Structure 1
Amino acid sequence: MRSSPAQGLSILEVVVALAILGVALAFIVPSFVGFLETNTGSEVRSQAVYLAQRELETLRLQDPTLLPTSGSAERRESYGERTFTLRRIYCAQTALCGPGSRHIRVEVVWNGRTVYAAETVYTSLR
């Protein structure tokens, strides 16, 4: 009996091909995971910056003399698929707080860590 020229792949050829594919994937997959983590971190930071800016804009519209002279306030807010904690800290630097001004720090916390923080001094223009 004659054997035909195209009999298919032997088990050894399949195992070698799978081993080569496995080695290639071992080098490629970690970089994809790294890119995914970097992308997620950038997205979280962008969302935190947006929430902090919106919080500061809300505070800017208020009369600074009506804001507290000490303490803090905290609330949770969802943005996209994530829930952040927004923390306002009033007059953390007491030298910047006076009769017509308030020092305010806004922190945006996600998963137990501060992702973004901004601070400013609001003064009364009257």
Structure 2
Amino acid sequence: MIRLLLACFALFMALPVAAQDAVPPAPYANVQLADPAQEAKAHALMLTLRCLKCQSQSIADSDAPMAGDMRSLVRERIAAGEEPEAIRAWLVERYGDYVSYQPRVTELTWPLYAIPLLLLLGVGLVLRRRLRRGSEQ
């Protein structure tokens, strides 16, 4: 009975691993553009866009089906003559700021830039006071 329960548990735990490989990447996901200059532009843009499923890889490096779809969209738009920044703006509008490794400074994101600077300034002031007190004694 215990062996049967352990076998069922092991099978249950293996299901997510099997499901990861269930969706193969789309065949169009890695089709490169015929023009090397356009492909270089597309690849440079893909390196700056985050895979929303992997979250730590760019869409150029990710094997996730969603990243393949995003690569295909980038290549289609580059081939149509769109500029990389227009494509980035469209993807940010569609998926949010998180899709870009180069987030914009907005009213919501400025604290992410300001707080570390304020902390460094505060540490600098504390160190300056301590050093002055130490030299006076």
TM-score range, shorter chain: 0.3 to 0.5
TM-score normalised to the size of structure 1? 0.33
Q: Higher Cα Rg: structure 1 or 2?
A: 1
TM-score normalised to the size of structure 2? 0.31
- The answer to which structure has the higher strand fraction is 1
